[in-house]
Structures are given as structure tokens and as C-alpha cells.
Amino acid sequence: MTLLTDAQQLLPDLVALRRALHADPEVGLQLPRTQAAVLDALAGLGLEISTGPAGSATTGVVAVLRGGAVPAGAPRPSVLLRGDMDALPVVERSDLPYASTNGAMHACGHDLHVAGLVGAARLLASRREELAGDVVLMFQPGEEGFGGAKIMVEEGVLAASGTHPSAAYGVHVAPGRRGVFTTRPGPLMAGSNQLHVTVTGAGGHGSRPYAALDPVPALAELVTALHAMVTRRFDVFDPVVLSVTQLSAGEAVNVIPPSARLGATVRTLSDASVQRLREETARLAHGIAAAHGCTAEVSFEVQYPVTANDAGAAATALAVVRGLLGEDRGQLMTNPLMGSEDFSFVLQRVPGAFLFLGASPDGVDPATAAWNHSPLVVFDDAVLADQSAALAALALHHLSAG
């Protein structure tokens, strides 16, 4: 039977797993119920399973599938496949019969990523004699802002099979034509950075601003200056997106506070932009604060690096998807997205590719559909067969005994 046919036969079980995970989401690095569901789903497949070193910061799962087509004493190449497991602190507003009611939500589709990777594990386990090497299955918590991939890399996931992976692949669902995979060589998703600025002056009575050093006007001026800076100091062909998302100052309406604070998310597509942003944001903050007689404290934190695909791996991924599903099912993306992804920590060390999979249900226009992270977003879990088959096909391609 073909890989896709086998994946379609697995679909009812994968859908049931996905919906169970969707109804019971967990946030962050510690996902004990999700981990237990993954371990149960992998049972009986003959995998070498680890839940991390003693005292691990995560409830990740690493499963190694040993290929059976490796001659004794020969090198054992490996390929890594990854699925993230965590949800978001979002109150779900969909009308799905399996919607979450615990105050969290799989609003980014990680429930599908887990079920799809389980499907790939089952497909590959039934074909282990075709594999001239090993497959590392990385079930990762904490993608949503916790850097779970970085932690798992530091804890040794890239050495799990005994050899460093020669390729790494991951799939992420998103609104789009159902069953269509997209990717591109080079930068696919932006790096994520955080900017925090505290402007300090001298507080006082709201009726006597001349007797204080009010930090609020300085902070307000800084907000507009930061947005203008991006358009005037950075090349439009090396995009930067800066959004001030947090502002805070005093508590009492009649009191000039001694300090005021802002927080911003900053997205970049190059290391050069990151370094320049450090310099330019500090220059602006200190200069504007000084003009108001205040001081500024600036923190610029790199959270996730740019998700950059290896050109060869991206081309391979599209070719494999097209061969498996048809020419129109693997499409080249024109531009990167300014969202971020911590699979970037894996791709910094392993040549590989990240792909998007359109998962809009019938009757939903992808152009107007609720996007990832929305409490209204809905994904069609019928794509799980395609996702599982594509991941398995990528591993088979790299480790084929033929």
C-alpha cells in the first residue's frame, strides 16, 4: 500500500487524538497530560523513548526509531522530525463540540502537529526495514514564548540517536487552501525580539507639572519616534516590524508618576538588523528622555532567531510533497512571514526546512479566516493524513536504503 493510503487509514485515530488534545490544552513547558497522551500514542511501536534528563525543564518526549536497513558496523545517519505540543492562554470562542473549556486553547494548531507527528511515527515504524538510518521524533513543549526547542537542544535532542541529524523538518498548520504545503529557501519567519524601556523622572502633584519631571510625555514621544525610526533608518528590503504593545505609568489620576514604561515586540529578518536595533532604540530612548530632563533604562532581548530554511532542504521538501500529493500541493512562498518560531534553534544547527500546511475547513475563505492565535480560529483535522504522510516521506527520502 502507498504511504498516503496508509496515512488515510490512520486518520480516524489521529483525529481522535487531536480532538482529545484540543479539549484539554496545556500552556508552557510543563504539559504532563499532553506528554502522557503522546507516550500512550507511541506505545507498542518499538521506539527508544526518553522524557529528558533528570530534572528536565520540560515535559518533552524524544523517540528514536531505529531503521532496519543499516549493515552492521555501518554509519547510522539520522533525520529529525518535530511537533510542538503547547497551547496558548486564550479563551476559546469556537463552537466546536470538542472546544476547550479550561481557559487555554490550541489556537495555533499544535494539537494537529502532535497528532501528525504521531501519524508519521506509525507510518515509519511499519517501514523501518526501508530506513538506512534513524528517525528522531521531537515532541516539544513551550514553543509559544518559552523557547522549548532551545531547551531541548541544550538537553541533547540532537544527540538522541547517537549521530547528529543530517536534516530536520517541521510542519505548521495555518489558514490556507486545505492540504497545500508552502515553504521557501532562506528566511521563512522573522526573529523575535523584545524591547523594554523605563523612563524615570521625578513625580509630583498633577496640578504642578512644572515642579516635577514628568516621564509620561517623554514616553509618549518615544512611542511615535520608535515607529518612525523603523521607516527611516531601516532598508525596506530587509524588513523590521516594531509594535509597541505595552504602556504603563502611575496608578492615581492626580499624581505625576516618577517613571513610565513601555514594551514592544520587534521582528527582524537579519542579524544586522538586530544589532542596529540595539543601537538605534537605545539612542532614541536616551536622547528623548534627556530632552525632557529624564533618564532611560533600555533592555533589548533576542528571543527567537530568524527561522531560515536550508535552500537544498526546502527544495527537497517541495519535491517530496509534490511527488507524494501532486504538483499543485507543494508551492513556493514568495515572501517570509514576520511571525516567529523556535524551530529556528534547530535549524541553526541542522540543515532543514519548515513548511506551512493550509488547513482551512470547507466553506471558510482563507483570506478572511481567523488567523493563528485567534480565539475563533478553526483548523480542519482532515489534513492530518497529508501531514503524517509528508513527514514520513521526508524521512524515507533521506534514509532510503535504495
Residue 69 has pLDDT above 90, yes or no: no
Cα separations in angstroms, 72 against 68, 133, 395: 10, 12, 21
pLDDT, mean of residues 208-235: 96
How large is the angle between the packed helices 215-233 and 271-291, nearest 10 degrees?
Answer: 150
Give the pLDDT confidence of 155-177 residue by residue, as tens digits: 999 999 999 999 999 999 999 99
Q: DSSP code of 253?
A: T
pLDDT of 1 reads 62
Q: How far, in Å, CA of 333 to CA of 267, rounded?
A: 19
Give the C-alpha distances (Å, rounded to integers) separating 167 from 23, 149, 180. 33, 16, 22
* Percent of the chain's residues with pLDDT above 70: 99
Tell me, what's the pLDDT at 400? 84
Largest Cα–Cα separation, the chain:
84
- In this prediction, residues 364-374 reach a mean pLDDT of 94
Question: What nine digits make up the cell of 60?
Answer: 518533552
Residue 315 pLDDT more than 70? yes
> Grid coordinates representing 238?
530587509
Whether residue 327 has pLDDT greater than 70 = yes
Q: How far is CA 120 from CA 31, 65, 78, 319, 350, in A?
A: 21, 11, 15, 18, 20
Specify which residues 2 forms β-bridges with: none
| C-alpha triplet 227, 232, 233: angle, nearest 5° | 100
Q: What pLDDT, on the 0 to 100 scale, is given for residue 402?
A: 46
**Got the DSSP string for 59-113?**
--EEEEEEPS---TTS---EEEEEEE--BBS-------TT---SS-B-TTSHHHH
Average pLDDT over residues 303-329: 97
Domains and CATH numbers, the chain: 3-189+306-399 (3.40.630.10), 191-304 (3.30.70.360)
- pLDDT value of residue 98: 97
Q: What is the mean pLDDT of residues 357-373?
A: 94
What confidence score (pLDDT) does residue 65 get? 98
Mean pLDDT of the chain: 96
Output the pLDDT for position 401.
54
- How many whole angstroms separate alpha carbon 66 and alpha carbon 79? 11
For residue 396, the model assigns a pLDDT of: 97
Rounded to an integer, the average pLDDT of 362-381 is 95
